Chain A
Amino acid sequence: MLLREVSYARPSTVEEAVSLLTEHDGARALAGGQTLVNVMKQRAASPDVLVDLADLDELRAISVSGTTLEIGAMATLAAIMRSSEVEVSRPILAATAATVADVQVRNRGTLGGNICVNDPTNHFPPLLVALGASMTIRSAVGERVVTAEEFFVGVFETAVGEGDLLTRISVPAAGKGTGDGMAGVTLGAHGTYVANAAASVVDGTWRIALGCVDAVPHRAAAVESALVGADVDEAAVRSAVEGLGATLDPPADVHASAEYRRSLAETSTVRAVLQAAEKARG
């Protein structure tokens, strides 16, 4: 409950933030704090320096640029829920944000924070992989853009390394023929996921990513292939998903055995795909 000693800085520009993160070993970016502060309370991680991004307004911006929805890493989940840009361009992001925990967490928690944690049970990693999002990372030597799959490296590990700062998440805007779905089972309403799947179809091409079953979001490539060109009715989807569980090696824990997770992964995938297919039909 009580944190170890830590030093704290609140930069007023992104450059200052990157500078601090580069200069100090053991520096961590502090976004909404909904995960990091709680992790520090457990003393499971104890950074030496916290770089508070609160004053970096440019990281909060949500805008549409051409056919891309640009979401600043510091956009809170509440802001995403309220954003008309998100509503128009990729509403699944707002619908998913609305199921994360509770109002207080959403008021502080940020999209960037959620994905930088890369907790396998988090909502946004599989969703952003399914949406084909990309992430912009700033460092002392410049800026680079990585795909969502490149971004999620391991459990609690992302492409954001020492001295790096995630600044932006870019999501293709949904055009006609696009449909997104997300389904899963949680520990109580709006609770932690036990299993989930995110599915996205763009003009008949599918991207399906599973959370909770691996260190990083798991692309269900075989299912994606089986769905190409298929008439997406329930029978076809079930047929495409059959056997998915056997290809997975999910963890067992107090909430689910590996076998239960496999089964839930399959069911979640079917439901996410059907949701997406229905949305795509318009």
Chain B
Amino acid sequence: MNVAATPVSEKVVTVTVNGTTYEHEVPARRLLVHFLRDDLGLTGTHIGCDTGSCGACTVHLDGVAVKSCAVLAVQADGGTVTTVEGLGDEELTPLQQSFSDHHALQCGYCTPGMLMSATALLAENPSPTSDEVKVGLQGNICRCTGYWNIVEAVVAAGKGSA
């Protein structure tokens, strides 16, 4: 029986987040979002609900958009995570700039999750239509904007759009 098959209540996990590899002991019950925010100090990923409904916690895990509140940190062991802090550097990415250009954020709380979902969408579909953007962002709740400007911003950021 391999070691990983013995149940443990704490585990040292190895996770690469935004290009940096961390080794950290975590309780099995710790949510990935709390690991990112509290253990690693990456507070750009936010929490807006307790039923996995709002998407404010969206990150990329092994290349796909997931809600980090519905994943345990131990499930990310050996995996790769990208958070909003890993999207750009000093310069804003075209998507981030497009959000600002189109007033696609007001309070900014849903914005990291929106950016992560939109980034995943654009990676798979570089020039999405409005309808495709809406499907891509269906898992991200915003209470400030009504979504119209967000959809516009993502469409505009799509390759080949103005």
Question: In the complex, A touching B, CB below 8 Å?
Answer: yes
B66 at the interface (CB under 8 A from A): yes
Q: A8-B72, A9-B4 are in contact. Are A1 and B50 (CB under 8 A)?
A: yes
B87 at the interface (CB under 8 A from A): no
The answer to whether B70 touches A38 (Cβ under 8 A) is yes
Contact of A54 among B52, B55, B75, B139 (CB under 8 A): B75
The answer to whether B7 touches A5 (Cβ under 8 A) is no
Q: Point out which of A1, A2, A19, A55 has the most chain B C-beta atoms below 10 A from its C-beta.
A: A1
The answer to whether A101 touches B139 (Cβ under 8 A) is yes
With A16-B2, A20-B5, A38-B70 already in contact, 19 other A-B pairs whose C-beta atoms are closer than 8 Å = A1-B47, A7-B7, A8-B11, A8-B72, A10-B74, A33-B70, A34-B67, A37-B69, A38-B51, A38-B52, A41-B51, A42-B51, A103-B139, A104-B55, A104-B70, A105-B70, A105-B139, A108-B67, A190-B138
The answer to whether B71 touches A37 (Cβ under 8 A) is yes
A107 at the interface (CB under 8 A from B): yes
Q: Which 10 pairs from chain A and chain B are nearest by CB?
A: A102-B139, A7-B7, A8-B28, A3-B29, A1-B50, A102-B138, A9-B7, A107-B64, A11-B5, A104-B139
**Bound-complex Cα distance A38 to B54 (A):** 12
How many residue pairs bridge A and B at CB < 8 Å?
A: 118
How far apart are B27's CB and chain A's nearest CB, in angstroms? Answer: 7
Interface of A toward B, CB cutoff 8 Å: 1-12, 16, 19-20, 24, 27, 30, 33-34, 37-38, 40-42, 49-50, 52, 54-55, 78, 101-105, 107-108, 189-190
A-B contact pairs, 27 of them (CB 8 A): A1-B47, A3-B29, A6-B28, A6-B29, A7-B7, A7-B8, A7-B28, A8-B11, A8-B28, A11-B5, A16-B1, A24-B7, A33-B70, A33-B75, A38-B52, A38-B70, A42-B50, A42-B51, A52-B75, A78-B64, A102-B138, A102-B140, A103-B120, A103-B135, A103-B136, A105-B67, A108-B70
Which B residues are CB-close (under 8 A) to A16? Answer: 1-2, 5
How far apart are B104's CB and chain A's nearest CB, in angstroms? Answer: 18
Which A residues are CB-close (under 8 A) to B65? Answer: 103-104, 107
B20 at the interface (CB under 8 A from A): no
**Bound-complex Cα distance A102 to B5 (A):** 32
